[in-house]
Structure 1
Amino acid sequence: MPDTLTQKQKLEIIVKALDSKKAEDIKVIKVGDLTIIADYFVIADGTSSTQTKALADEAEYKMQENGVTPNRVQGNNGSNWVIIDYGDIVVHVFSKDQREFYNLERLWRDGEDVDISEWVK
Structure 2
Amino acid sequence: MKESSELQKEIASIISIIEDKKGQDIKVFDMQGKSPFFDYSILCTGSSSRNIEAIANDIKKSSENIRSIEGLEECNWVLIDLGDIIISIFSKDAREYYQLDEFYEGVNEEGSVI
User: Where on the TM-score scale, by shorter chain, does this alignment land: which range?
Assistant: 0.7 to 0.9
Residue aligning to 2:50? 50
Shift in Å at residue 38 of structure 1? 0.8
CA-atom RMSD in angstroms: 1.7
Residue aligning to 1:27? 27
* CA distance in structure 1 between the aligned counterparts of 2:55 and 2:40, rounded to whole angstroms: 18
Report Cα offsets for 1:47-104 as digits up to 9, x if no partner.
11111111111122122xxxx2301111102320101101100010000110111111
Alignment of 1:98-109 (within 5 A): 98-109=94-105
Residue aligning to 2:6? 6
**Would you identify which runs of 4 or more consecutive aligned residues in structure 1 move more than 6 Å?**
none
Residue aligning to 2:90? 94
* CA distance in structure 2 between the aligned counterparts of 1:108 and 1:34, rounded to whole angstroms: 10
Where relative contact order (Cα < 8 A, 6+ residues apart) is larger, the structure is: 1
Residue aligning to 1:72? 68
Report Cα offsets for 1:13-68 as digits up to 9, x if no partner.
110001000000011000122211210001001111111111111122122xxxx2
Instruction: Provide the secondary structure at the position in 1 that maps to 2:93.
Output: helix
1:50–1:78 contact (8 Å) kept in structure 2: no
1:70–1:86 contact (8 Å) kept in structure 2: yes
Identical columns (%): 29
Q: TM-score by structure 1 length? A: 0.82
* CA distance in structure 1 between the aligned counterparts of 2:99 and 2:42, rounded to whole angstroms: 13
* CA distance in structure 1 between the aligned counterparts of 2:73 and 2:65, rounded to whole angstroms: 19
How many residue pairs match? The answer is 108
Q: TM-score by structure 2 length? A: 0.87
